[in-house]
Amino acid sequence: MKKSLRFKMMAGGIIAVFVPLLVVGGFSAYKSMSALEESAQSQSMEVAKGLANMANLVVQEEMKIAAQIAVNDSVIQAAVANNQGRKDSAEAAKAAAELTALIRQSGNEYETIYIAGTDGKIFADGVEGKYKGIDVSDRNYIQTAKSGKVNSGAVMLSKLTGKPVLMSGAPVYSKSKELIGVVGTAVNADFLVDKVAGTKLGKTGYGFAVDKTGSVIAHPKKEFILALNALEQEGMKEFSKKMVAGETGSEPYTFKGVKKMAGFAPVPLAGWGICITQDYNEFMAPAYHLMGVILVIGIIFLVIAVVSVSFFARGIALPIGHVANDLGDASEQVAAASSQVAAASQSLAEGASEQASALEETSSSLEEMSSMTKQNADNAAQARALMGEAKQIVERVDGQMKNMVTAIQEVTRSSEETGKIIKTIDEIAFQTNLLALNAAVEAARAGEAGAGFAVVADEVRNLALRAADAAKNTSNLIENTIVTVKNSRDLTQKTQDAFKENMEIAGKISQLVDEIAAASSEQAVGIGQIGKAVAEMDKVVQQTAANAEESASAAEEMNAQAEQMNGYVTNLLTIVDGTAVQQSVHNDDKPAVQKPGKPMIKKILHAGSDLLKQNRPIRPQPTIAMAKSGFKDF
């Protein structure tokens, strides 16, 4: 089924606007989501690394403190006395007093510091003997210390306070390098838990930590501490295995129906894993917003395109359709008139008496045909005016397309400004790197006291370098977006060229209308020939038969021209409406032409006499040859 001209113009305009918007919008949304997801993975992993390094420093410090206590002379003497079987010895009391003083000096950060014998029973502590006599031989950190290794990292709930404490253990050797006891420390882990659990990433991001068994040892929700095992939680098993195994990375997961992003890093000395998690929808919010903006802009442009193209197509198709219908009616009237002329010519051939009466009928038909020819010319003039208006509409649409190109250029300039901002971020990262290097130099000058600060300064420098790399990557993405926007501008230019082609099509239609007007002029030629035939019949009756034959020939020629013009009108209606139109000229169902009677003969005779008296010449306009090939390029 053929489509109408209006439908084709609307479909072409809408596709030309919608496809570039769809491609640019989809590409921009995809790139934004990819960049945001990579940024979230990198950020969560870097924050987790920072917390892991901090926790590792804390554990290292606790191990150092436990080792220093284990080599204290008072501790060694108390362990020797305990090994000799002297319970409640003076050496043990002296060591307990020194441990009590140490706890006070730390600001009561330690819940307890104790000394246990090789049998695992505590014989001295720094909290007035509250732990004295307790067997701790089954504790992992004690067993590790008895094997000769200083260790830390075990977290458990204190039986006295109910709060988490970080346990450390160190072996006590005699001067002969014989294992004679174990030192154990229990420092309050609230500050470490608060530091990890208090880390925020956006509105929904937070941190938590697990030990080597997967048990949660730090979490914003206190009730989860040492009560929840990450290895047993649906959705968390996969990346929790990697945390316990000491791996570093980031991975998306779903917890209780909520999609999240986890970045994790190990604490090597303690065997912990620290994780930073954030809701997926939060860090993807800018991408979702961008998709919404693109969708709204696309709908707005689509509505504008539909309305503009609809008015444009309607303004062209409807006037052309009306003109074509009028021309069709006129061609049918011309065909009917030519049939009447042919019938009159046949009647004239039957006899000279009938020729005179037929002259009046012929004159009447000539006047009617002359009027129709004038009407055809007027209709053609109206069609030319309508085509001029159609050209103005196309020019206005072309102006709107230029405005769209200007809008896309504004988007390009905005992307370039964003690139400048990314460059500023890169410069800030560079300055941060310099400050980190200065801090590392100052830490090196401070010697051992600045060792921890040197590690932090080094991590800050690494973060600055990664921030610079991220800024560079983001700059590349923005440059790609600028290229995409420029491509969209080229597509819009192609759309504008398409509208110019429509203007050319409108020009061709105007040429067709001119050709129809020329056909009307050709009809005037036939009318002039018939007039001459009538004049000759009136002058020379003897030539009546010859003149009648000439009139019949002219009528046939005019009938053929009317049929040809009707074919042009049919093709024009097919182009405009998109449906086949049945030709009405020379249809088998048309009524038969009746021969004129005697009253009609008298009218023809008077009309012929009037023509001779008035001597009115019929001057047809120069004709333009028409053929069906004129529609090939349309």
Average pLDDT over residues 614-624: 46
Q: Output 470 or 541, whichever has higher pLDDT.
A: 470
Residue whose entry in the numeric block shows the structure tokens 């105007």? 510
Containing H/E element for 187? strand 179-188
Residue 597 has pLDDT above 50, yes or no: no
Residue 122: the pLDDT is 94
Distances (CA, A) of 474 to 31, 38, 49: 10, 11, 23
DSSP-based three-state secondary structure for 573: helix
Query: How many other CB atoms sit within 10 Å of the CB of residue 563?
Result: 17
Query: How many other CB atoms sit within 10 Å of the CB of residue 159?
Result: 11
Residue 126: the pLDDT is 92
Average pLDDT over residues 261-288: 87
Residues linked to residue 262 through DSSP beta bridges, in sequence order: 251, 277
- pLDDT > 70 fraction of the chain, expressed in percent and rounded: 78
Containing H/E element for 111? strand 110-116
Q: Tokens in use for 324?
A: 């074509």
Of the listed ranges 51-60, 107-116, 265-274, 373-382, the least confidently predicted one is: 373-382
Residue 581: the pLDDT is 54
Of the listed ranges 56-65, 361-370, 571-580, the least confidently predicted one is: 571-580
Find the DSSP H helices in 111-249: 140-146, 190-197, 237-244
Containing H/E element for 170? strand 164-173
| Domains parsed from the chain with CATH numbers | 5-63+193-283 (3.30.450.20), 71-187 (3.30.450.20), 308-623 (1.10.287.950)
Q: Output 626 or 242, whichever has higher pLDDT.
A: 242
DSSP state of 541: G
Rounded to whole angstroms, the Cα distance separating 203 from 285 reads 12
Average pLDDT over residues 436-464: 81
Q: Tokens in use for 528?
A: 């002039």
Q: How confident is the model at residue 631 (pLDDT cuts 50, 70, 90)?
A: very low
Q: Which stretches of 245-296 are assigned E, i.e. beta strand?
A: 249-255, 258-267, 272-279
Highest mean pLDDT (candidates 47-51, 327-331, 439-443, 598-602): 47-51
| Ordered strands of the 122-125 beta sheet | 122-125, 110-116, 179-188, 164-173, 151-157
Residue 64 has pLDDT above 90, yes or no: yes
- pLDDT > 90 fraction of the chain, expressed in percent and rounded: 21
Exposure on the CB side of residue 469, measured as CA atoms within 13 A: 10
Residues linked to residue 51 through DSSP beta bridges, in sequence order: none
Residue 599: the pLDDT is 45
Q: Output 128 or 318, whichever has higher pLDDT.
A: 128
Q: How confident is the model at residue 355 (pLDDT cuts 50, 70, 90)?
A: low
- DSSP-assigned states of every residue in 44-97: HHHHHHHHHHHHHHHHHHHHHHHHHHHT-HHHHHHHHHHHTT-TT-HHHHHHHH
Distances (CA, A) of 166 to 25, 63, 272, 304: 53, 11, 12, 67
Residue 560: the pLDDT is 82
Of the listed ranges 306-310, 555-559, 609-613, the least confidently predicted one is: 609-613
Rounded to whole angstroms, the Cα distance separating 342 from 548 reads 9
Average pLDDT over residues 47-76: 93
Residue 423: the pLDDT is 80
Distances (CA, A) of 129 to 84, 100, 133, 376, 601: 20, 10, 9, 123, 149
Tell me the pLDDT tens digit for each residue of 16-61: 766 776 777 677 666 766 777 777 778 888 998 999 999 999 999 9
Q: Which stretches of 197-318 are assigned E, i.e. beta strand?
A: 200-201, 205-210, 216-218, 249-255, 258-267, 272-279
Residue 590 has pLDDT above 50, yes or no: no
Residue 149: the pLDDT is 94
Of the listed ranges 437-451, 457-471, 505-519, the least confidently predicted one is: 505-519
Average pLDDT over residues 117-128: 93
> Is the Cβ–Cβ distance between 230 and 243 less than 8 Å?
yes
What rounded mean pLDDT belongs to the chain? 78
Query: Phi/psi zone of residue 151: left (φ > 0), alpha (ψ -120 to 50 degrees), beta?
Result: beta
Query: How many other CB atoms sit within 10 Å of the CB of residue 39?
Result: 14
Tell me the pLDDT tens digit for each residue of 321-344: 677 677 777 767 767 776 776 676
Q: Output 222 or 516, whichever has higher pLDDT.
A: 222
Residues linked to residue 275 through DSSP beta bridges, in sequence order: 208, 264
Residue 548: the pLDDT is 66
Of 527, 547, 603, residue with least CA distance to 364 = 603
Rounded to whole angstroms, the Cα distance separating 400 from 544 reads 68
Distances (CA, A) of 633 to 2, 71, 312, 619, 628: 17, 103, 21, 33, 11
Q: Output 277 or 419, whichever has higher pLDDT.
A: 277
Residue 345: the pLDDT is 66
DSSP-based three-state secondary structure for 570: helix
Residue 622 has pLDDT above 50, yes or no: no
Residue 602: the pLDDT is 44
Query: Exposed, middle or buried by CB within 10 Å (0-12, 13-18, 19+), for 458?
Result: middle
Question: Greatest CA separation found in the chain?
Answer: 169
Orientation of helix 598-614 relative to helix 451-539, angle to 10°:
100
Containing H/E element for 182? strand 179-188
Residue 395 has pLDDT above 50, yes or no: yes
Residue 563: the pLDDT is 79
Containing H/E element for 180? strand 179-188
> Is the Cβ–Cβ distance between 143 and 167 less than 8 Å?
no
Tell me the pLDDT tens digit for each residue of 184-230: 999 988 888 888 888 888 888 899 999 989 999 999 988 888 888 99
Q: Output 161 or 121, whichever has higher pLDDT.
A: 121
Tell me the pLDDT tens digit for each residue of 488-513: 777 777 877 776 777 777 778 777 76
What phi, psi does 274 have (nearest 5°)? Answer: -110, 135
